[in-house]
Amino acid sequence: MNLTTENILLIGSLLLFISIIVGKTSYKFGVPTLILFLAIGMLAGSDGIGGIRFDDPKLAQFIGIVSLNFILFSGGLDTNFKAIKPILREGLVLSTLGVFLTAATLGIFVWFVTDFTIYESLLLGSIVSSTDAAAVFSILRSKNLALKTNLRPTLELESGSNDPMAYVLTLACLSLVINQDQSIPTMIFMFFQQMILGGIAGFAFGKLSRIIINRIKLGFEGLYPVLVIALMFITFSATDFVGGNGFLAIYICAVYLGNQDLIHKSTILKMFDGIAWLMQIVLFLTLGLLVFPSQIIPYMGIGLLISVFLILVARPAAVLISLMFFKMKMRRRFYISWVGLRGAVPIVFATYPLLAGIDKANMIFNIVFFISVTSVLIQGTTLSLFAKWLNVALPEEVKPIAENDRYILNLPKSAMEEILIPPNSFAVDKRIIDLHFPTSAFIVMIKRNNKFVRPGGSTVIEANDTLVLLLDTEDSLNEVNMILDKTLIG
């Protein structure tokens, strides 16, 4: 069956519906939903029962890049900077040095066990060198797995920030395969250019986006998530245009925005959470359709050998060397080593050799696909088990709630207070978003002239308003009073 404009919506919606229904029950059997999405795509493809012919690496790459934008941005929005601050150095070392060591170690192994050239071997190692953000975010959150001592923020920071490094290494090694006269200094310059410009652009666009979101008056709450999507793509494409790393830029931009006071933040977070799931499903379905299972079978032996080496040798060695200068218990290091999930990102990166037309592109693509599948199947299904074995999991009754989850869950507070705003208060004529209330205090209603006003981030406080607040603790009330009485204290 060929995809046409007439049937693509019907087929796409049916595949999406089947993926959601099947994924709903998958964890009863311990199978990650991402593998099921991939399997459904393969079953629907040319070699499957669906017989849908899809052999367009360029379109698959485009869908992959768009999907990764949403997945990385959603992960960044949900990253609490207070949680990652204590482990920021560890996370950044893992996402740079760790990725490089994984690529180098695996590349040298591939060079020894195959007939690949050294550059082709390093290209394969680079493609699968990063942990996959979609797989890590999806599996950790869907399993609701709580881990001790900042372990989960470390894993999420690494997976969210290490794709840019793998992307740069992939492009560098692909350039060396195509043009072996390319100088190493040129590759090093490209690396620093991509990372430095990506980091600067991400932070700059984050600050600019916050100003735009909070200052612009759109009139409809539903337009704010659309505005953020536009800003996300502008950040990615503009950074890429000037030679920076767009993936790094959107992740940094999202982390910055997720830790700021934004108008309609709850709506934005909910929308991106839903779209991230949609993009994960679409991405894995597309990659499942793109692959030909019959072409993978000849490479299963070498693929399994490389996958086992990656899981048991290359990844642990890279983690242990990267973290050797940090104070960390060995069982935490071993668990970080095990959560080296490969998923859709390596498969998307494997489309670059296909489009470049190098000799062993198909072989690389099929081996990478096999590595990703075995990684999610072996490691993804055993995360909870290894967490218990290594004693790094928190008991169910003491699982913490992420700071940003308050915007999504609308958690009840422990106390309610009413505060009258005097005419000389700092809050008069200021929007709620500009007051920077603590996240443990929530304005649920405003009494104004014997009427009730439903508050939003853009609501302007007036003199003699009575704010009805829900609070967590007495300290929260003290913080609010200090903000409201700023001019009186000063």
Q: What is the pLDDT of residue 490?
A: 37
Q: If you average pLDDT over residues 403-420, what whole number do you get?
A: 57
Alpha-carbon span 209 to 52, nearest angstrom: 41
**How large is the C-alpha radius of gyration of the chain?**
24
pLDDT at 341 exceeding the cut of 50: yes
* Most confident option among 47-61, 297-311, 426-440, 442-456: 297-311
* Higher local confidence (pLDDT), 132 or 400: 132
Q: If you average pLDDT over residues 4-9, what whole number do you get?
A: 67
Alpha-carbon span 126 to 120, nearest angstrom: 10
Sheet containing strand 441-448, strands side by side: 415-420, 466-471, 441-448, 451-453
Residue in this structure with the two tokens 């070392």, named with its chain if needed: 93
Write the CA distances from 209 to 93, 215, 229, integer angstroms.
28, 10, 11
Alpha-carbon span 35 to 243, nearest angstrom: 34
pLDDT confidence band for 32 (50 / 70 / 90): low
pLDDT confidence band for 231 (50 / 70 / 90): very high
| pTM for this prediction | 0.78
Residue 115 DSSP label: S
Residue 114 has phi, psi (to 5 degrees) of -130, 180
Q: If you average pLDDT over residues 326-338, what whole number do you get?
A: 89
* Most confident option among 279-288, 352-361, 401-410: 352-361
Domains in the chain with CATH codes: 8-396 (1.20.1530.20), 411-489 (3.30.70.1450)
Token pair for 135: 């797989």
Burial class (CB in 10 A: 0-12, 13-18, 19+), 221: middle
Q: Classify 440 as helix, strand or coil.
A: coil
pLDDT per position as a tens digit, 345-400: 888 899 999 998 888 899 999 999 899 888 888 887 788 788 888 888 766 544 55
Q: Smallest Cα–Cα separation from 260: which of 443, 446, 79, 483?
A: 79
pLDDT per position as a tens digit, 15-25: 778 777 766 65
Calculate ∠ Cα 96-366-126, nearest 5°.
15
- Whether the CA torsion 180, 182, 185, 188 is positive or negative: it is negative
Alpha-carbon span 489 to 486, nearest angstrom: 5
pLDDT per position as a tens digit, 135-161: 676 666 666 666 777 787 888 788 878
* pLDDT, the chain, mean: 82
pLDDT per position as a tens digit, 165-178: 898 899 889 988 98
